[in-house]
Structure 1
Amino acid sequence: MTDTSTSYAAASENRPGPVVARTREELRAARGALPGSDVAVVMTMGALHDGHATLIHEARKRAQHVVVTIFLNPLQFGPKEDLSRYPRTFDDDMVICAREGVDLVFHPTPDVVYLDGDPGVRISAGPLGDVLEGQSRPGHFDGMLTVVSKLMHLTRGTSFYYGQKDAQQLLLIRRMVRDLDFGVEVVSVPTVRESDGLAMSSRNTYLTESDRETAVSLSRALAAGAAAATEGPSAVRRAARAVLVAEPLALVDYLVLVHPDTLQDVPEWYRGEALLAVAARVGTTRLIDNQPLVLGPGGGPLDVFPPRPLDS
């Protein structure tokens, strides 16, 4: 992204900086001071980048108020994952929040979110949480949905903004909101990419210069697959796989073409919306990316899937 927030940044120069709440009591008071009921929420784990800024910008365009949560959720990290080294850049995060006109930042510690320590009751992601990312990261989506549900209740937002890059997470949040009658809107925002095509992620900071060159093969594989969408599923898989095979330093975990609502592989005869998704380890960093697309005549890549029954 060059700077999709420039127009709003200029308009927000006269706005005061965001209120920062660190406790439930501070959040309750600050949230109650926001006039009106139209409140959009962008949930983050910190280490904000232009992808997060785009989410905030989209929320600001549509909502009266914007709340950003910055919380590094321990429940969604496995025992061998990178919680301890995950980047913590709160001061820089606040610069982005101020620039984008955020009204309120909720920045709690784990003991504020989980009052009794490790919660005894959690949201289960069910079968959709056991495939793709869930197969590689057992329990990850249960931890994610548990904190998302808590933050939805605590912030009392009316709409919540998530990036298409985390497609499985987005699907599961939509299912939770619908299945458990949360009564809020879930808005998807297209993946934001670096100039070389790499999907923006806080984990990109772990990549060395040579890693970056390898990592771009993920987005190139997705683009190649999407370009073959008119020819059907086999052509998409074949085109994407050819790019990754040519880059042996990208250790592929999965490359799949699945239905966007079930995450099941689409058969060769299938025509319609599909999700081409990839995960790979580059150096010491695990990266994910995906491309929504339409298979068949007139098909091709999508930015995000159009509104569907899963949306509130």
Structure 2
Amino acid sequence: MLVFAKIKSVQQKIESLKKGTSVGFVPTMGALHQGHLSLIHQAKKENDIVVVSIFVNPTQFDKQEDLINYPKTIDKDLSLLKSVYCDIVFAPAANEIYANDIKSQAFDFDGLEFQMEGKFRDGHFNGVGTIVKRLFEIVKPTKAYFGEKDFQQLQIIRNMVKKHQIPVKIVGCDIYREEDGLAMSSRNARLTNEHRKVAPFIFKTLKEAKIKFGTKNASEVVSWVESEFKKQPLLELEYFEIAEENTLLTIKNKDPKQKYRAFIAVFAGKIRLIDNISL
């Protein structure tokens, strides 16, 4: 496994290895867990070379506190990546990516950026678009892998790739969960024991909401979820929405031709957890 911090060095190495081979790319912010490793396993199956980036991107944090507190575990991350036979790791510093001008590019994601997370995290998706586009330009992957836990982000990246005609195939991968159903996230490590015990309630509620969506209208399901969280004092519901998968617009009337997904954001103490489920 080769580790690079400089753009020129990693590009030269990828170019030297490429020669007709396919490159799978998994962008991460470090603090790796089994969910990340599942993306790498899929990338290994489908490509000749796998590149993983580790970069805590400052422009996608709407709160400075979250950026400061984001777990940084580079030694552990590199050990995990070696164990799954990752080929190349790109772990740059912020000034290597942004050349001392740390700000986001402005994007138009056709309104996808104003739904759900966009209502609560100002400028977040401009930051995501900026870093993912930059990493694609550096790595030039054949395929790039993203988990469906951040489904809105996945759709936004698909939109960006199409609009900017970036020659990469975006692959969405199933949410990887703990045995008790909690979606794996780097933030889970920051949960208190008390909050960790109740956090599986999020996915349990999503599964029940999916069943109810089969017989009830969307507003009834939303009201039921809101009432369930009022009974759970350790978890604070930020939002629960049922939206159409492609546009991410909140459902008005059920259309059997459309695909719907339920999205949720919950505070467990100070830690914000998101999840979703296909309906």
Q: TM-score, normalised by structure 1?
A: 0.84
**Residue in 2 aligned with 1:306?**
none
1:241 Cα deviation after fit: 3.8
Instruction: Tell me the distance in 1 between the aligned counterparts of 2:29 and 2:180.
Output: 25
Task: State the shift of 1:175 in Å.
Answer: 0.5
CA distance in 2, matches of 1:81, 1:261: 32
Cα distance in 2 for residues equivalent to 1:236 and 1:223? 12
Quick one: which of 284, 289, 295 aligns to 2:270? 284
Q: How does 1:232-311 map to 2 (within 5 A)?
A: 232-234=216-218, 236-271=221-256, 272-293=258-279
Q: Secondary structure at the match of 1:147?
A: helix
1:17-32 map, 5 Å: 18-32=1-15
CA contact (8 A) 1:19 1:30 kept: no
TM value normalised by structure 2 = 0.93
Quick check: 2:140–2:168 contact (8 Å CA) kept in 1? no
Q: What count of residue pairs does the alignment treat as equivalent?
A: 276
RMSD of the alignment, in Å? 1.7
Residue 197 of structure 1 aligns to a residue whose secondary structure is coil
* Distance in 2, Cα, partners of 1:143 & 1:62: 28
CA contact (8 A) 1:124 1:145 kept: no
Structure 1 unmatched runs, 5+: 1-17, 294-312
Judging changes above 3 Å, is the alpha-carbon distance between structure 1 residues 41 and 233 closer, same or farther for their aligned structure 2 residues?
A: farther
* Contact 1:279 1:289 survives alignment (8 Å): yes
Partner of 2:131: 147
CA distance in 1, matches of 2:110, 2:259: 23
Cα distance in 1 for residues equivalent to 2:110 and 2:66: 24
Structure 1 segments of 4+ aligned residues over 3 angstroms from their partners: 119-126, 232-243
**SS of residue in 2 equivalent to 1:143:** helix
> Retained in 1: the 8 A contact 2:24–2:141?
yes
**Cα drift, residue 124 of structure 1:** 4.2
Per the TM alignment, residue 238 of structure 1 is displaced from its structure 2 partner at its CA by 4.9
**212-221 or 43-52, larger mean C-alpha shift:** 212-221
Which whole-Å CA distance do the structure 2 matches of 1:178 and 1:252 have between them? 34
Q: Does 1:220 align with 2:218?
A: no
Look up the equivalent residue of 2:263 and give its one-letter code: A
Q: Note the C-alpha offset of 1:117.
A: 1.6
